[in-house]
Chain A
Amino acid sequence: MKIIETAQITETVREMVIEAACDLEPDILEGLVQARDRETSPLARDLLDLLLVNADIASREQMPVCQDTGVSVAFVSIGRELIFDGDPEAAVQEGVRQGYEEGYLRKSVCDPLTRKNTGTNTPAVVHLESHSGDDLRILYLPKGCGSENMSRLRMLPPSAGIEGVVDFICETVFAAGPNPCPPLVVGVGIGGTFEKAALLAKRSLFRPLGEHHQRRDVGELESDILTRLNREGQGVEGMGGINTALAVNIEVFPSHIASLPVAVNIQCHAHRHKERTLTGREWPGQSDS
Protein backbone atom coordinates (compact mmCIF):
# COMPACT_ATOMS: atom_id res chain seq x y z
CA MET A 1 0.00 0.00 0.00
CA LYS A 2 1.05 3.60 -0.59
CA ILE A 3 -0.31 6.81 0.83
CA ILE A 4 -1.29 10.16 -0.67
CA GLU A 5 -2.06 12.97 1.71
CA THR A 6 -5.30 14.77 1.01
CA ALA A 7 -3.55 18.13 1.54
CA GLN A 8 -1.45 17.31 -1.54
CA ILE A 9 -4.58 16.58 -3.56
CA THR A 10 -6.11 19.89 -2.53
CA GLU A 11 -2.93 21.82 -3.41
CA THR A 12 -2.65 20.07 -6.79
CA VAL A 13 -6.28 20.77 -7.70
CA ARG A 14 -5.96 24.39 -6.56
CA GLU A 15 -3.02 24.86 -8.95
CA MET A 16 -4.79 23.07 -11.80
CA VAL A 17 -7.87 25.26 -11.37
CA ILE A 18 -5.90 28.51 -11.65
CA GLU A 19 -3.60 27.35 -14.44
CA ALA A 20 -6.48 25.95 -16.49
CA ALA A 21 -8.35 29.26 -16.35
CA CYS A 22 -5.39 31.43 -17.41
CA ASP A 23 -3.10 29.27 -19.57
CA LEU A 24 -4.40 27.50 -22.64
CA GLU A 25 -2.66 24.17 -23.16
CA PRO A 26 -0.03 23.96 -25.94
CA ASP A 27 -2.22 21.63 -28.03
CA ILE A 28 -5.04 24.19 -28.16
CA LEU A 29 -2.70 27.10 -28.94
CA GLU A 30 -1.15 25.04 -31.73
CA GLY A 31 -4.63 24.13 -33.00
CA LEU A 32 -5.62 27.81 -33.13
CA VAL A 33 -2.38 28.74 -34.93
CA GLN A 34 -2.94 26.00 -37.51
CA ALA A 35 -6.54 27.11 -37.96
CA ARG A 36 -5.37 30.70 -38.49
CA ASP A 37 -2.73 29.61 -41.01
CA ARG A 38 -5.19 27.63 -43.14
CA GLU A 39 -8.09 30.09 -42.81
CA THR A 40 -9.28 31.63 -46.08
CA SER A 41 -11.71 34.29 -44.79
CA PRO A 42 -9.97 37.56 -43.84
CA LEU A 43 -12.45 38.27 -41.03
CA ALA A 44 -12.12 34.75 -39.59
CA ARG A 45 -8.32 35.10 -39.75
CA ASP A 46 -8.51 38.37 -37.84
CA LEU A 47 -10.75 36.77 -35.23
CA LEU A 48 -8.37 33.83 -34.79
CA ASP A 49 -5.51 36.31 -34.43
CA LEU A 50 -7.47 38.10 -31.72
CA LEU A 51 -8.05 34.81 -29.89
CA LEU A 52 -4.29 34.23 -29.90
CA VAL A 53 -3.67 37.77 -28.61
CA ASN A 54 -6.24 37.06 -25.91
CA ALA A 55 -4.47 33.83 -24.89
CA ASP A 56 -1.20 35.74 -24.74
CA ILE A 57 -2.61 38.48 -22.48
CA ALA A 58 -4.31 35.89 -20.25
CA SER A 59 -1.12 33.92 -19.75
CA ARG A 60 1.13 36.94 -19.16
CA GLU A 61 -1.23 38.66 -16.75
CA GLN A 62 -2.75 35.52 -15.21
CA MET A 63 -6.19 36.75 -16.14
CA PRO A 64 -8.80 34.17 -17.17
CA VAL A 65 -8.85 33.44 -20.92
CA CYS A 66 -12.64 33.70 -20.74
CA GLN A 67 -14.83 35.26 -18.07
CA ASP A 68 -16.85 32.03 -17.99
CA THR A 69 -14.43 30.13 -15.79
CA GLY A 70 -16.92 27.33 -15.86
CA VAL A 71 -18.41 24.65 -13.72
CA SER A 72 -15.57 22.42 -12.54
CA VAL A 73 -15.53 18.87 -13.91
CA ALA A 74 -12.97 16.36 -12.66
CA PHE A 75 -12.39 12.72 -13.48
CA VAL A 76 -10.39 11.33 -10.59
CA SER A 77 -9.07 7.81 -10.87
CA ILE A 78 -7.78 6.26 -7.64
CA GLY A 79 -5.14 3.54 -7.73
CA ARG A 80 -6.52 0.58 -5.80
CA GLU A 81 -3.25 0.21 -3.85
CA LEU A 82 -3.61 3.68 -2.33
CA ILE A 83 -4.72 4.75 1.10
CA PHE A 84 -5.57 8.29 2.22
CA ASP A 85 -5.41 10.25 5.45
CA GLY A 86 -8.88 11.63 4.74
CA ASP A 87 -11.54 11.90 2.03
CA PRO A 88 -9.96 12.36 -1.42
CA GLU A 89 -13.16 13.68 -2.99
CA ALA A 90 -13.55 16.32 -0.27
CA ALA A 91 -9.92 17.25 -0.95
CA VAL A 92 -10.74 17.83 -4.63
CA GLN A 93 -13.72 20.00 -3.72
CA GLU A 94 -11.55 22.04 -1.35
CA GLY A 95 -8.95 22.51 -4.09
CA VAL A 96 -11.64 23.86 -6.41
CA ARG A 97 -12.91 26.23 -3.73
CA GLN A 98 -9.42 27.58 -3.01
CA GLY A 99 -8.52 27.88 -6.69
CA TYR A 100 -11.58 29.97 -7.55
CA GLU A 101 -11.08 32.25 -4.57
CA GLU A 102 -7.33 32.75 -4.85
CA GLY A 103 -7.24 32.86 -8.65
CA TYR A 104 -9.86 35.64 -8.91
CA LEU A 105 -12.05 33.33 -10.97
CA ARG A 106 -15.76 33.81 -11.46
CA LYS A 107 -17.99 31.72 -9.25
CA SER A 108 -20.63 30.45 -11.63
CA VAL A 109 -22.34 27.65 -9.73
CA CYS A 110 -25.85 28.11 -8.37
CA ASP A 111 -28.86 26.17 -7.13
CA PRO A 112 -30.69 24.97 -10.25
CA LEU A 113 -34.11 26.03 -8.98
CA THR A 114 -33.60 29.14 -6.83
CA ARG A 115 -30.59 30.25 -8.97
CA LYS A 116 -28.83 31.33 -5.76
CA ASN A 117 -25.03 31.31 -6.27
CA THR A 118 -23.18 28.92 -3.94
CA GLY A 119 -20.42 31.53 -3.78
CA THR A 120 -17.54 29.04 -4.04
CA ASN A 121 -17.96 27.46 -7.48
CA THR A 122 -18.48 24.19 -5.62
CA PRO A 123 -19.73 21.58 -5.75
CA ALA A 124 -17.52 20.48 -8.63
CA VAL A 125 -18.84 17.61 -10.74
CA VAL A 126 -16.45 14.85 -9.68
CA HIS A 127 -16.41 11.44 -11.36
CA LEU A 128 -14.55 8.96 -9.15
CA GLU A 129 -13.02 5.96 -10.86
CA SER A 130 -10.39 3.41 -9.90
CA HIS A 131 -7.58 1.57 -11.60
CA SER A 132 -4.97 -1.00 -10.70
CA GLY A 133 -1.94 0.86 -9.33
CA ASP A 134 -0.62 3.21 -6.67
CA ASP A 135 -1.11 6.61 -8.31
CA LEU A 136 -3.92 9.15 -8.43
CA ARG A 137 -4.85 10.57 -11.85
CA ILE A 138 -6.73 13.83 -12.07
CA LEU A 139 -8.31 15.14 -15.26
CA TYR A 140 -9.69 18.64 -14.81
CA LEU A 141 -11.86 20.72 -17.13
CA PRO A 142 -13.60 23.97 -16.24
CA LYS A 143 -16.64 23.74 -18.51
CA GLY A 144 -18.07 26.93 -19.90
CA CYS A 145 -21.80 26.73 -20.44
CA GLY A 146 -22.15 28.74 -23.63
CA SER A 147 -20.93 25.54 -25.24
CA GLU A 148 -22.32 23.08 -22.67
CA ASN A 149 -25.84 24.42 -23.33
CA MET A 150 -25.55 23.54 -27.03
CA SER A 151 -24.82 19.87 -26.25
CA ARG A 152 -27.36 17.15 -27.05
CA LEU A 153 -28.07 13.51 -26.47
CA ARG A 154 -30.32 11.32 -28.59
CA MET A 155 -31.35 7.69 -28.30
CA LEU A 156 -31.26 6.74 -31.99
CA PRO A 157 -32.80 3.54 -33.32
CA PRO A 158 -30.13 1.13 -34.60
CA SER A 159 -31.62 1.50 -38.10
CA ALA A 160 -30.30 5.07 -38.14
CA GLY A 161 -26.85 3.55 -38.60
CA ILE A 162 -23.60 5.43 -38.94
CA GLU A 163 -25.27 7.89 -41.32
CA GLY A 164 -27.84 8.77 -38.67
CA VAL A 165 -25.09 9.24 -36.10
CA VAL A 166 -23.13 11.57 -38.41
CA ASP A 167 -26.25 13.58 -39.26
CA PHE A 168 -27.16 14.02 -35.60
CA ILE A 169 -23.65 15.23 -34.71
CA CYS A 170 -23.55 17.67 -37.64
CA GLU A 171 -27.10 18.95 -37.04
CA THR A 172 -26.20 19.62 -33.41
CA VAL A 173 -23.20 21.72 -34.42
CA PHE A 174 -25.04 23.52 -37.23
CA ALA A 175 -28.04 24.34 -35.04
CA ALA A 176 -25.73 25.83 -32.42
CA GLY A 177 -24.27 28.24 -35.00
CA PRO A 178 -22.26 31.00 -33.34
CA ASN A 179 -23.60 30.38 -29.80
CA PRO A 180 -20.98 27.94 -28.43
CA CYS A 181 -17.93 30.01 -29.56
CA PRO A 182 -16.54 28.12 -32.54
CA PRO A 183 -14.03 26.86 -33.58
CA LEU A 184 -15.17 23.96 -31.41
CA VAL A 185 -13.88 20.75 -30.02
CA VAL A 186 -16.75 18.30 -30.52
CA GLY A 187 -16.83 15.49 -27.97
CA VAL A 188 -18.93 12.51 -28.96
CA GLY A 189 -19.98 9.39 -27.07
CA ILE A 190 -21.53 6.59 -29.11
CA GLY A 191 -23.07 3.53 -27.47
CA GLY A 192 -23.43 2.37 -23.90
CA THR A 193 -26.54 3.67 -22.19
CA PHE A 194 -28.11 7.13 -21.74
CA GLU A 195 -25.61 8.22 -19.06
CA LYS A 196 -22.65 6.28 -20.44
CA ALA A 197 -22.85 8.06 -23.80
CA ALA A 198 -22.79 11.45 -22.06
CA LEU A 199 -19.80 10.48 -19.92
CA LEU A 200 -17.92 9.18 -22.96
CA ALA A 201 -18.56 12.47 -24.76
CA LYS A 202 -17.26 14.52 -21.85
CA ARG A 203 -14.29 12.23 -21.35
CA SER A 204 -13.33 12.45 -25.03
CA LEU A 205 -12.63 16.18 -24.60
CA PHE A 206 -9.44 15.30 -22.71
CA ARG A 207 -7.85 13.73 -25.76
CA PRO A 208 -4.95 15.88 -27.02
CA LEU A 209 -5.91 17.89 -30.08
CA GLY A 210 -4.87 16.21 -33.31
CA GLU A 211 -4.91 12.65 -31.97
CA HIS A 212 -7.42 10.24 -33.44
CA HIS A 213 -9.17 7.24 -31.92
CA GLN A 214 -7.01 4.13 -32.06
CA ARG A 215 -9.74 2.17 -33.82
CA ARG A 216 -9.21 2.94 -37.47
CA ASP A 217 -12.90 3.12 -38.48
CA VAL A 218 -13.62 5.47 -35.56
CA GLY A 219 -10.63 7.65 -36.42
CA GLU A 220 -11.81 7.89 -40.03
CA LEU A 221 -15.29 8.81 -38.87
CA GLU A 222 -13.76 11.63 -36.82
CA SER A 223 -11.92 12.95 -39.88
CA ASP A 224 -14.99 12.69 -42.12
CA ILE A 225 -17.21 14.56 -39.66
CA LEU A 226 -14.57 17.26 -39.09
CA THR A 227 -14.30 17.81 -42.85
CA ARG A 228 -18.08 18.15 -43.19
CA LEU A 229 -18.36 20.52 -40.20
CA ASN A 230 -15.69 22.78 -41.65
CA ARG A 231 -17.17 22.66 -45.14
CA GLU A 232 -20.80 23.36 -44.17
CA GLY A 233 -20.47 25.01 -40.76
CA GLN A 234 -20.72 28.67 -39.97
CA GLY A 235 -17.03 29.20 -39.24
CA VAL A 236 -15.12 31.16 -36.63
CA GLU A 237 -17.54 32.77 -34.13
CA GLY A 238 -20.28 32.11 -36.70
CA MET A 239 -18.78 34.79 -38.94
CA GLY A 240 -17.54 32.64 -41.80
CA GLY A 241 -14.45 30.77 -42.90
CA ILE A 242 -13.38 27.16 -42.84
CA ASN A 243 -12.83 26.60 -39.14
CA THR A 244 -16.05 25.61 -37.41
CA ALA A 245 -14.30 22.87 -35.46
CA LEU A 246 -10.72 22.11 -34.45
CA ALA A 247 -11.40 18.45 -33.71
CA VAL A 248 -14.05 15.76 -33.42
CA ASN A 249 -13.24 13.25 -30.67
CA ILE A 250 -15.35 10.11 -30.59
CA GLU A 251 -15.42 7.45 -27.89
CA VAL A 252 -17.41 4.25 -28.35
CA PHE A 253 -18.80 1.59 -26.02
CA PRO A 254 -20.97 -1.47 -26.80
CA SER A 255 -24.70 -0.83 -26.54
CA HIS A 256 -27.91 -2.86 -26.22
CA ILE A 257 -29.06 -4.56 -29.45
CA ALA A 258 -32.10 -2.24 -29.46
CA SER A 259 -30.19 0.95 -28.83
CA LEU A 260 -27.83 3.52 -30.40
CA PRO A 261 -27.24 6.35 -27.91
CA VAL A 262 -25.29 9.35 -29.22
CA ALA A 263 -24.14 12.22 -27.01
CA VAL A 264 -22.56 15.37 -28.42
CA ASN A 265 -20.73 17.48 -25.87
CA ILE A 266 -19.72 20.77 -27.41
CA GLN A 267 -16.62 22.58 -26.23
CA CYS A 268 -15.61 26.14 -27.14
CA HIS A 269 -12.27 27.32 -28.55
CA ALA A 270 -11.23 28.27 -25.00
CA HIS A 271 -10.80 24.56 -24.38
CA ARG A 272 -9.20 24.53 -20.95
CA HIS A 273 -8.09 21.15 -19.68
CA LYS A 274 -5.45 19.87 -17.30
CA GLU A 275 -4.03 16.51 -16.39
CA ARG A 276 -1.89 15.59 -13.37
CA THR A 277 -0.80 12.35 -11.74
CA LEU A 278 0.20 12.04 -8.09
CA THR A 279 2.25 9.06 -6.99
CA GLY A 280 1.85 7.58 -3.57
CA ARG A 281 4.74 7.29 -1.14
CA GLU A 282 5.58 4.32 1.02
CA TRP A 283 3.25 3.95 3.95
CA PRO A 284 5.25 3.49 7.18
CA GLY A 285 2.56 1.36 8.78
CA GLN A 286 2.96 -1.33 6.14
CA SER A 287 3.86 -4.77 7.58
CA ASP A 288 4.76 -6.83 4.51
CA SER A 289 7.38 -4.61 2.81
Chain B
Amino acid sequence: MSFLKVMPAALENLREITIPFAEGVIETLSAGDMVGLTGSLYTGRDQTHRRLCALLDEGRELPVDLAGQLLYYVGPTPARPGQVIGSAGPTTSYRMDPYTPQLLELGLKATLGKGKRSRTVRDAMLKHGAIYLASIAGAGALLSKSITRAEVVAFEDAGPEALFRFEVERFPAVVINDLAGRDFYEICAAGR
Protein backbone atom coordinates (compact mmCIF):
# COMPACT_ATOMS: atom_id res chain seq x y z
CA MET B 1 0.00 0.00 0.00
CA SER B 2 1.10 3.53 -0.68
CA PHE B 3 1.63 4.47 2.96
CA LEU B 4 4.09 1.64 3.43
CA LYS B 5 7.55 2.70 2.34
CA VAL B 6 9.81 0.04 3.79
CA MET B 7 9.55 -2.90 6.13
CA PRO B 8 10.23 -1.41 9.55
CA ALA B 9 13.76 -1.98 10.74
CA ALA B 10 12.30 -2.92 14.12
CA LEU B 11 11.43 -6.37 12.86
CA GLU B 12 14.78 -6.97 11.16
CA ASN B 13 16.97 -6.34 14.18
CA LEU B 14 15.31 -8.39 16.88
CA ARG B 15 17.50 -10.34 19.25
CA GLU B 16 16.50 -13.95 18.77
CA ILE B 17 15.53 -15.78 21.94
CA THR B 18 14.39 -19.38 22.31
CA ILE B 19 11.45 -20.19 24.60
CA PRO B 20 11.11 -21.86 27.01
CA PHE B 21 14.27 -20.04 28.09
CA ALA B 22 17.54 -21.93 28.33
CA GLU B 23 19.45 -21.69 31.60
CA GLY B 24 20.92 -18.22 32.16
CA VAL B 25 19.16 -16.44 29.27
CA ILE B 26 16.65 -14.43 31.30
CA GLU B 27 19.54 -12.92 33.25
CA THR B 28 20.90 -11.38 30.03
CA LEU B 29 17.68 -9.55 29.12
CA SER B 30 17.29 -5.88 30.03
CA ALA B 31 14.30 -3.56 30.05
CA GLY B 32 13.92 -2.10 26.55
CA ASP B 33 15.49 -5.03 24.69
CA MET B 34 13.60 -5.90 21.50
CA VAL B 35 13.45 -9.65 21.11
CA GLY B 36 12.06 -12.19 18.65
CA LEU B 37 10.70 -15.20 20.52
CA THR B 38 10.96 -18.62 18.90
CA GLY B 39 9.66 -21.84 20.44
CA SER B 40 6.52 -22.69 22.38
CA LEU B 41 4.36 -20.84 24.88
CA TYR B 42 1.02 -21.11 26.62
CA THR B 43 -1.77 -18.56 26.45
CA GLY B 44 -4.31 -17.41 28.98
CA ARG B 45 -6.42 -14.42 29.84
CA ASP B 46 -9.09 -13.60 32.42
CA GLN B 47 -11.07 -16.86 32.60
CA THR B 48 -8.00 -19.07 32.22
CA HIS B 49 -6.38 -17.35 35.18
CA ARG B 50 -9.52 -17.54 37.26
CA ARG B 51 -9.82 -21.26 36.56
CA LEU B 52 -6.13 -22.08 37.06
CA CYS B 53 -6.09 -20.37 40.43
CA ALA B 54 -9.39 -22.01 41.44
CA LEU B 55 -7.78 -25.40 40.72
CA LEU B 56 -4.75 -24.45 42.80
CA ASP B 57 -6.97 -23.27 45.66
CA GLU B 58 -8.71 -26.64 45.60
CA GLY B 59 -5.35 -28.41 45.70
CA ARG B 60 -5.89 -29.95 42.26
CA GLU B 61 -3.46 -30.47 39.42
CA LEU B 62 -3.27 -27.95 36.58
CA PRO B 63 -3.85 -29.07 32.97
CA VAL B 64 -0.35 -27.82 32.06
CA ASP B 65 2.99 -27.56 33.84
CA LEU B 66 3.88 -23.86 33.88
CA ALA B 67 7.36 -24.31 35.36
CA GLY B 68 9.92 -22.58 33.14
CA GLN B 69 7.24 -21.45 30.67
CA LEU B 70 6.15 -18.18 29.10
CA LEU B 71 2.46 -17.26 29.41
CA TYR B 72 1.02 -14.98 26.72
CA TYR B 73 -2.08 -12.93 27.55
CA VAL B 74 -4.21 -13.24 24.42
CA GLY B 75 -7.69 -14.14 23.28
CA PRO B 76 -7.39 -14.70 19.52
CA THR B 77 -10.07 -14.32 16.87
CA PRO B 78 -11.15 -17.63 15.28
CA ALA B 79 -8.99 -18.97 12.45
CA ARG B 80 -10.52 -18.97 8.99
CA PRO B 81 -10.24 -22.29 7.15
CA GLY B 82 -6.59 -22.78 6.23
CA GLN B 83 -5.28 -20.28 8.79
CA VAL B 84 -3.22 -21.22 11.86
CA ILE B 85 -4.93 -18.60 13.99
CA GLY B 86 -6.82 -15.35 13.60
CA SER B 87 -5.75 -11.97 14.90
CA ALA B 88 -3.72 -12.59 18.08
CA GLY B 89 -2.21 -9.53 19.77
CA PRO B 90 -1.66 -8.98 23.49
CA THR B 91 -4.41 -8.04 25.94
CA THR B 92 -3.95 -5.66 28.90
CA SER B 93 -1.91 -7.38 31.59
CA TYR B 94 -3.06 -5.69 34.82
CA ARG B 95 -6.24 -7.77 34.80
CA MET B 96 -4.08 -10.83 35.40
CA ASP B 97 -2.20 -9.17 38.31
CA PRO B 98 -4.38 -10.69 41.07
CA TYR B 99 -3.51 -14.20 39.83
CA THR B 100 0.09 -13.80 38.69
CA PRO B 101 2.00 -14.24 41.99
CA GLN B 102 0.35 -17.64 42.49
CA LEU B 103 1.51 -18.77 39.03
CA LEU B 104 5.02 -17.39 39.54
CA GLU B 105 5.28 -19.60 42.62
CA LEU B 106 4.86 -22.59 40.29
CA GLY B 107 7.97 -21.52 38.39
CA LEU B 108 6.39 -19.52 35.55
CA LYS B 109 9.36 -17.62 34.10
CA ALA B 110 7.83 -14.93 31.92
CA THR B 111 4.57 -13.26 31.05
CA LEU B 112 3.78 -11.42 27.81
CA GLY B 113 1.02 -8.85 27.36
CA LYS B 114 0.73 -5.09 27.22
CA GLY B 115 0.59 -2.33 29.80
CA LYS B 116 1.81 -1.84 33.34
CA ARG B 117 2.05 -4.43 36.14
CA SER B 118 1.25 -3.81 39.79
CA ARG B 119 3.91 -3.32 42.43
CA THR B 120 2.88 -6.67 43.95
CA VAL B 121 3.47 -8.49 40.68
CA ARG B 122 6.79 -6.72 40.11
CA ASP B 123 7.96 -7.74 43.57
CA ALA B 124 6.81 -11.32 42.99
CA MET B 125 8.69 -11.42 39.66
CA LEU B 126 11.90 -10.31 41.38
CA LYS B 127 11.41 -12.89 44.12
CA HIS B 128 10.91 -15.72 41.63
CA GLY B 129 13.36 -14.60 38.92
CA ALA B 130 10.73 -13.91 36.26
CA ILE B 131 10.42 -11.19 33.64
CA TYR B 132 7.56 -9.41 31.88
CA LEU B 133 7.43 -8.49 28.21
CA ALA B 134 5.03 -6.49 26.04
CA SER B 135 4.26 -7.13 22.43
CA ILE B 136 2.84 -4.71 19.88
CA ALA B 137 -0.59 -3.77 21.17
CA GLY B 138 -3.27 -3.56 18.52
CA ALA B 139 -1.23 -5.39 15.87
CA GLY B 140 -2.99 -8.75 16.06
CA ALA B 141 -3.02 -9.36 12.30
CA LEU B 142 0.73 -8.76 12.00
CA LEU B 143 1.52 -10.85 15.09
CA SER B 144 -0.54 -13.78 13.80
CA LYS B 145 2.17 -14.20 11.14
CA SER B 146 4.64 -15.20 13.87
CA ILE B 147 2.41 -18.00 15.16
CA THR B 148 3.09 -21.23 13.28
CA ARG B 149 0.91 -23.63 15.27
CA ALA B 150 -1.98 -23.25 17.71
CA GLU B 151 -3.85 -25.89 19.68
CA VAL B 152 -6.31 -25.70 22.53
CA VAL B 153 -4.90 -27.47 25.59
CA ALA B 154 -7.57 -26.74 28.21
CA PHE B 155 -10.79 -24.85 28.95
CA GLU B 156 -12.11 -25.20 25.40
CA ASP B 157 -15.59 -24.22 26.60
CA ALA B 158 -14.25 -20.74 27.41
CA GLY B 159 -14.07 -20.02 23.65
CA PRO B 160 -11.58 -17.20 23.00
CA GLU B 161 -10.47 -17.49 26.62
CA ALA B 162 -9.28 -21.09 26.24
CA LEU B 163 -5.73 -22.07 27.17
CA PHE B 164 -3.77 -22.57 23.94
CA ARG B 165 -0.30 -23.81 23.20
CA PHE B 166 1.33 -21.74 20.45
CA GLU B 167 4.46 -22.38 18.47
CA VAL B 168 6.00 -19.07 17.49
CA GLU B 169 8.79 -17.84 15.23
CA ARG B 170 10.47 -14.50 15.83
CA PHE B 171 7.44 -13.25 17.74
CA PRO B 172 8.27 -9.58 18.45
CA ALA B 173 8.32 -8.35 22.06
CA VAL B 174 9.94 -5.72 24.26
CA VAL B 175 11.32 -6.50 27.72
CA ILE B 176 9.42 -4.31 30.18
CA ASN B 177 10.43 -5.65 33.62
CA ASP B 178 13.84 -7.28 33.96
CA LEU B 179 15.57 -9.12 36.78
CA ALA B 180 17.29 -5.92 37.93
CA GLY B 181 13.88 -4.43 38.79
CA ARG B 182 13.89 -1.97 35.90
CA ASP B 183 10.61 -1.00 34.19
CA PHE B 184 10.82 0.10 30.56
CA TYR B 185 7.58 2.13 30.78
CA GLU B 186 9.00 4.06 33.73
CA ILE B 187 12.26 4.59 31.85
CA CYS B 188 10.31 5.97 28.86
CA ALA B 189 8.19 8.23 31.07
CA ALA B 190 11.27 9.55 32.91
CA GLY B 191 12.93 10.35 29.59
CA ARG B 192 10.35 13.05 28.76
B77 and A104 contact, CB distance less than 8 A: yes
A237 and B3 contact, CB distance less than 8 A: no
Q: Does A240 contact B (CB under 8 A)?
A: yes
Q: Which of A47-55, A189-197, A202-210 contacts B (4 or more CB under 8 A)?
A: A47-55
Q: Which of A85-93, A174-182, A213-221 contacts B (4 or more CB under 8 A)?
A: A174-182
Q: Does B44 contact A (CB under 8 A)?
A: no
B141's partner among A49, A54, A178 (CB-CB below 8 A) is A54
Given contacts A67-B75, A69-B77, contact A51 B140 (CB under 8 A): no
Q: What is the bound-complex CA distance between A234 and B80, given in angstroms?
A: 36
A104 and B140 contact, CB distance less than 8 A: no
Q: Does B7 contact A (CB under 8 A)?
A: yes
B137 and A178 contact, CB distance less than 8 A: yes
Q: Does A277 contact B (CB under 8 A)?
A: no
B92 and A179 contact, CB distance less than 8 A: yes
A179 and B115 contact, CB distance less than 8 A: yes
Q: What is the bound-complex CA distance between A66 and B145, given in angstroms?
A: 13
Q: Does B160 contact A (CB under 8 A)?
A: yes
Q: Which of B47, B114, B138, B161 gathers the greatest number of chain A CB atoms within 10 Å? A: B138
Chain B, Cβ-Cβ closest to A53: B142
Q: Which residues of A contact B86 (CB under 8 A)?
A: 63-64, 67, 104, 106
Chain A, Cβ-Cβ closest to B185: A238
B135 to chain A, nearest CB (A): 10
B174 and A49 contact, CB distance less than 8 A: no
Interface residue ranges of B62-102 to A (CB < 8 Å): 74-80, 83, 86-89, 91-92, 94
Q: Does A123 contact B (CB under 8 A)?
A: no
Q: Does B188 contact A (CB under 8 A)?
A: yes
A237 and B137 contact, CB distance less than 8 A: yes
Per-position 1/0 for B133-174, Cβ under 8 A of A? 010111111111100000000000011110000000000101
Q: What is the bound-complex CA distance between A73 and B94, given in angstroms?
A: 25
Q: What is the bound-complex CA distance between A63 and B78, given in angstroms?
A: 10
Q: What is the bound-complex CA distance between A268 and B90, given in angstroms?
A: 13
Chain B, Cβ-Cβ closest to A149: B92
B8 and A237 contact, CB distance less than 8 A: no
B188 and A239 contact, CB distance less than 8 A: yes
B79 and A104 contact, CB distance less than 8 A: yes
B75 and A106 contact, CB distance less than 8 A: yes
Q: What is the bound-complex CA distance between A182 and B156, given in angstroms?
A: 32
Q: Does A58 contact B (CB under 8 A)?
A: yes
Q: Which residues of A contact B80 (CB under 8 A)?
A: 63, 104
Chain B, Cβ-Cβ closest to A144: B138
Q: Does A7 contact B (CB under 8 A)?
A: no
Chain A interface residues toward B at CB < 8 A:
29, 33, 43, 46-47, 49-59, 61, 63-69, 104-108, 115, 117, 119, 146, 149, 177-181, 232, 234-235, 237-240, 268-270
Leading 9 A-B pairs by shortest Cβ distance: A46-B10, A179-B115, A49-B8, A54-B142, A58-B141, A54-B139, A67-B140, A64-B87, A67-B87
Q: List 8 A-B pairs, Cβ < 8 Å.
A: A49-B10, A57-B142, A63-B141, A67-B88, A68-B91, A104-B79, A179-B115, A238-B189
